[in-house]
Amino acid sequence: MGFLKQAILTICIAIAAFYGWAWFYHGAPSILQGYGLDRLPGLPAQIETAAIRRNGGQPNEGGFSQQALVATAPVTTGVVNDRLSAIGNGHAVRSVTVTPLVSGQIAQVPVTSGARVEAGDTIVALDSQSEEIARDRATIAVTNAENKLKRYEELFARKATSSVDVDNARTELDNARLQLREAELALARRTVTAPIAGVIGILSLSAGDYVTSQNIITTIDDRSEIIVEFWVPERFIGAITPGSPLVATALAMPGDPLNGTIVAVDNRIEQDSRTLKVQARIPNTRDRLRAGMSFQVTMRFPGDPYPSVDPLAIQWDSAGSYVWLLADGKAERRDATIVQRNADAVLVKADISEGEQVIVEGVQNLRAGMPVKVLSGAAPAPAGRNDEVPADKAGS
């Protein structure tokens, strides 16, 4: 007698749990409708209403139904890894740090900070009085040596001297000329000139300062073009070559994109970050860009196409990810390896084609080969194309 009471109590608890689940679980109408259990006595009104709505306005006649109600979405095609986005640093196309070759006191600074100079223009002139004297002395020595050689040659022509005297006079002239060149070189080094054309940076020295070869006078940047240096993941190695186009936008000027080209690709991968250093050149015709600026670099590539499905279509079990495909009114399972996951679409490697329908709702009770009925007007929006993938998310 005790066993019977316990069995009856267990059945009552099970029935109460079933009706509680039917009342409070929001997915109960779909599940009960799929099994034809929506007309049981005592079920909440919304289940019957949902069943009538999903049967096209007609009440369910009862009985166990093997047809599942589902919603589908079309398969589209997406492209993975077709866009690279990176942050780079800008450098002048040519940049020189100006230092004097000799020590001395600055006598004159004929340029100002920020001035544009041409190659050979004087930037700083050092005191050069002793060097000028040495040059003049060497010039006189050369003149004397030339006159002496001329006299000895005339005497040799009249056989009044030997060829040895003529050779000695010629050697003396050569030495005098070398001393003159040395004096002129020492004098030239007292003037610091611009090695390239460009814009001078801030001058930190002025007339009267004493400088040595260790002092930096200024920097000169040729910013007619800007070299942008950035790093890319190693998977882009085969796609980036010198001459490849890109678009660079200075972070300080977000509304002014500039077209550029790749000019150099490094010959090795940085092992710690697994990235490759790349340099690009962009024009600076309006002289708005400066060395040291940060740039957003974007490159596009012909990426690999993959089927693109709605994220709700992806299901999982112990074997991995898969999707339910609608084929001839029945549910068909297809294994689908995820290539890339995005907010609005998932790129998969699967045996499905563009235009086929995948099931996105009502997948809880599906079995392979089960007949299904597609709810009219219930399909979600098609999964969008994935044609722009940042470098830090591509291939994830």
CATH number of the domain encompassing residue 184 = 1.10.287.470
Measured CA to CA in angstroms, residue 174 lies from 140, 154, 186, 320 at distances of 13, 19, 19, 89
Average pLDDT of the segment spanning 268-295: 93
Collapsing DSSP states into helix, strand and coil, what is residue 342?
coil
In this prediction, residue 332 carries a pLDDT of 92
Average pLDDT over residues 312-331: 91
Q: What's the mean pLDDT in 174-192?
A: 95
Q: Find the helix or strand (DSSP H, E) in which 332 lies.
A: strand 330-341
Letter string b/e over residues 337-358, b meaning 16 or more CB atoms within 10 A of that residue's CB: ebbbebeebbbbebebeeebbb
Q: Do 293 and 316 share a structural domain?
A: no
Please compute Rg for the chain using Cα positions.
Answer: 43
pLDDT attached to residue 30 = 61
pLDDT above 80 for 26: no
Pairing of strands 330-341, 346-350: antiparallel
Domain CATH for 271? 2.40.30.170
Range of the domain at 266: 84-93+222-300
* The total number of structural domains that make up the chain: 4
Give the list of residues 6+ apart from residue 108 with CB closer than 8 angstroms, or none.
122, 124, 125, 207
Total residues belonging to the chain: 396
Q: Which residue has the tokens 């095609």?
A: 77
Look at residue 20 and tell me whether its pLDDT is greater than 60: yes
The confidence score (pLDDT) of residue 388 equals 42
| CA atoms of 321 and 304, how far apart (whole Å) | 21
Quote the CA–CA distance of 396 and 391 in Å, as a whole number: 10
| Nearest in space to 316 (alpha carbons), one of 297, 331, 335 | 335
Q: HSE on the CB side for 203, CA within 13 Å?
A: 17
Lowest mean pLDDT across 45-49, 255-259, 372-376: 45-49
Percent of the chain residues topping a pLDDT of 90 = 58
Q: Note whether 89 and 233 are same-domain residues.
A: yes
Residue 392 lies in a domain: no
3-state secondary structure of 194: coil
Q: Is residue 116 part of a domain?
A: no
C-alpha distances in angstroms, 85 versus 43, 99, 215, 293?
56, 39, 41, 17
The CATH number of residue 342's host domain is 2.40.420.20
76 vs 394, higher pLDDT:
76
Q: Are residues 89 and 232 both part of a single domain?
A: yes
Same domain, 290 and 337: no
The residue ranking higher by pLDDT, 97 or 301, is 97
Residues 167 and 151 grouped into a single domain: yes
Mean pLDDT of 287-301: 92
* Inside any domain, residue 386: no
Of 300, 328, 348, the residue that ends a domain is 300
Q: Of 271, 300, 329, which one is at a domain's C-terminal end? A: 300
What share of the chain in percent tops pLDDT 70?
Answer: 83
Please say if the pLDDT value at position 247 is more than 50. yes
286 within 8 A of 225, measured Cβ to Cβ: no
| Under 8 Å between Cβ of 214 and 267 | no
In a domain, 200, yes or no: no
Distance, C-alpha 127 to centroid of its chain: 51
Is 255 found in the same domain as 241?
Answer: yes
Per-residue confidence (pLDDT) for residue 147, from 0 to 100: 95
Same domain, 242 and 287: yes
Q: Is 195 contained in some domain? A: no
